[in-house]
Amino acid sequence: MIQPLFLFLEMIVQFHSSVLFVKNMEKSRAFYCDILKQEIETDFGNNIMLKGGLSIWEIQESHELHRTFYKKDVSNSSMELYFETENMNKVIELIHQFNIPKHHELVEESWGQRTIRIYDPDRNLVEIGEKLEVFIQRMYKEGMSIEEIMKKTGVPKPMIEKSVIW
């Protein structure tokens, strides 16, 4: 019985965006737009849509969600927002400059990418990682061969070759 319902929904329901419910729009706007440099596509005041597909919504007290759902006082540990950068050093500098709470310091993942996880003003987990091309170039400049990079990252050889001449 679920299969026909799923097929029906698949025809009429399309993913639009992810929404973060926030307690303070100004703090969240500053975090995502001023610090993470995300651009606003549409601004409805208490609801902004960012160009990358993320929406931020400050729920008004009169809204049903405010009464029934939005009682979040702890960090959201079931999901994270992922962003990429070409300049991890600048990201680290901004995190320190704005005293952004960190989940962990800068680490190098087992596949070679440097990442850091921080919290937004509502304690949503935000990961910032090096772009694929950036960490492949870094490993190549550090003396790793294309074959060694392939083994460490799992990235196919043509993508690595394209990245090292990028």
Average the pLDDT over 74-101 and give the result.
85
Cβ atoms of 83 and 71 closer than 8 Å: no
In CATH, the architecture of 1-71 is Roll (3.10)
Q: What is the pTM of this model?
A: 0.78
Residues in the chain: 166
Query: Domain locations in the chain?
Result: 1-71
Q: In sequence order, what are the residues at sequence separation of 6 or more whose Cβ sits closer than 8 angstroms to the Cβ of residue 157?
A: 146, 150
Q: How confident is the model at residue 126 (pLDDT cuts 50, 70, 90)?
A: very high
Average pLDDT over every residue of 68-89: 74
Cα-based torsion angle of the residue sequence 129, 100, 19, 66 in order, rounded to the nearest 10 degrees: 160
* Of 63 and 38, more confident: 38
Closest to 141 (Cα-Cα) out of 107, 166, 105, 106: 166
* Burial (0-12, 13-18, 19+ Cβ within 10 Å), 159: middle
